[in-house]
Amino acid sequence: MALTPDQILAAHKANLETLVGLTNKAFEGVEKLVELNVAATRAALNDAATNAKSVLDAKNAQDLISVQAGLLQPMAEKSAAYSRHLYEIAAATSLEFSKAFESQAGEAQAKFNEFVDTAAKNAPAGSESAVAVMKTAVAAANNAYDSVQKAVKQAGEVAETNFNTITSNVVKAAGNVGTAAKKR
């Protein structure tokens, strides 16, 4: 089965459109990351100014310890929120790339299956067993691909759950340390 110039041109156009789309998604991810970092830097500068004023307003060591303890929880929460936003940006960008890859892989898989079917129909008499072996191999490869894809998705879900759990635990621990320090 030979490809015609129109088929080759259509494939190149589709690949170019996919590349442009992925490039735009990558730039959107970078833009979101820059916006997040600018907002985080602005908030950090404002917090630093506010915290410095609070420290300077402390009248004794106990007030200073209390101010410092009160800063721990908000810092942990803001760090966790920053990490969460960063993860969301990365996950969203990765999802777009995965969708494009899955689409391209699905199309390639369908075309390969079509090629195998055409080759099987045009195979010489007596090659039925070889054709059956080839079809079985293709089916096994497709099943393996599907299994790997499912495993990757599950691993991503587990990683996200673990990330959220760890973030939550860190914020709680910071709150406990802050509370304990204030009691002193």
Helices 61-121, 128-183: crossing angle, 10 deg rounding: 170
pTM: 0.62
Burial class (CB in 10 A: 0-12, 13-18, 19+), 67: middle
Burial class (CB in 10 A: 0-12, 13-18, 19+), 46: exposed
State the average pLDDT over residues 15-21. Answer: 86
User: Which residues are CB-contacts of 70 (< 8 A; sequence separation ≥ 6)?
Assistant: 54, 178, 182
On whether the CB atoms of residues 72 and 181 are closer than 8 A, the answer is yes
Range of the domain at 63: 5-183
Q: What is the mean pLDDT of the chain?
A: 82
The answer, yes or no, to whether residue 1 has pLDDT greater than 60, is no
User: Which residues are CB-contacts of 177 (< 8 A; sequence separation ≥ 6)?
Assistant: 69, 72
Tally of domains within the chain = 1
CA of 111: how far to CAs of 1, 13, 101, 123, 152, in Å?
Answer: 11, 17, 15, 18, 24
32: confidence class by pLDDT, cuts 50, 70, 90: very high
Burial 120-157 (b: 16+ CB within 10 A, else e): eeeeeeeeeeeeeeeeeebeeeeeeeeeeeeeeeeeee
Structure confidence at residue 177 (pLDDT): 62
* Residue-wise pLDDT tens digits, 112-153: 778 777 777 777 877 778 778 877 887 888 788 778 778 877
Q: What is the 3-state secondary structure (H, E, C) of 109-125?
A: HHHHHHHHHHHHHCCCC
